[in-house]
Amino acid sequence: MIIRCTQKLLAELKIRQIPEESENDPLWSWHANVFRIERRKCVLMTNDATLFAMFIPALLKTDFESFDFVIGEHLFKNLLYENIPQAQIEAVLSECRKIKYQKSNNRRVLGSMNDQRFQIEYRIAAEGGLARTNIYELNHLLNEVPFRAIKHRRPIVMLKEKLKNLAECAATCSCEQD
């Protein structure tokens, strides 16, 4: 999994040297940005292929020191909330074990993230603040919004399709090896 970070997030993670750009599957590539809501540091991660978004609120310094774990934990909980089958969740989490950080490189995804950030800020204000907001419901609602960048489709539908195709491919490949 590759996390393509903005300069602000790279500085927060204290990553100085970025490895060379490597080829990757867009399903395992995410963009991430850090920003503040109610004076708390928050991270928005968006998948490059599906625009599936994951908002991670109120991060502390220790969370940035173990950011790989934080990503895996939040991704797991969000996929559970979306009723993704266990086998598909396990496939995603196995990718989280090998996270690489790189600089952001896709303006289309960053533009979509700006829209998502606006939606997050609006929903949190409408709920009465960060403490009163159900983050998993917020993420669910965020992923139900169609985006022009993905031909007016919803990110959650696209993610489920990609994961289903991945599971079918894995089943086919394992059957051929037997």
pLDDT (tens digit, 9 = 90+) per residue, 18-34?
Answer: 766 666 666 789 999 99
pLDDT value, residue 81: 96
Task: Write the single-letter amino acid at 30.
Answer: W
pLDDT value, residue 178: 47
Sequence-separated (6 or more) residues with CB below 8 Å from residue 132: none
Give the tens place of pLDDT for each residue, 147-170. 998 999 999 999 999 888 876 766
> Nearest 5°: phi and psi at 23?
-70, 145
Give how far the C-alpha of residue 42 lies from the chain's centroid of Cα atoms, to the nearest Å.
Answer: 13
Greater confidence, 169 or 74?
Answer: 74
Q: What is the pTM of this model?
A: 0.89
Q: Which domain CATH number covers 71?
A: 3.30.420
Closest CA to 112 of 156, 52, 43: 52
pLDDT average, residue stretch 167-175: 62
What are the helix (H) ranges across 13-152?
A: 61-65, 67-81, 86-96, 107-127, 135-142
CB 35 within 8 A of CB 42: yes
The residue range of the domain holding 96 is: 2-177
pLDDT average, residue stretch 9-15: 91
CB 100 within 8 A of CB 1: yes
Residue whose tokens read 């169609």: 146
Total of domains in the chain:
1
Give the tens place of pLDDT for each residue, 89-141. 888 888 778 888 999 888 999 999 999 999 999 999 999 999 999 999 999 99
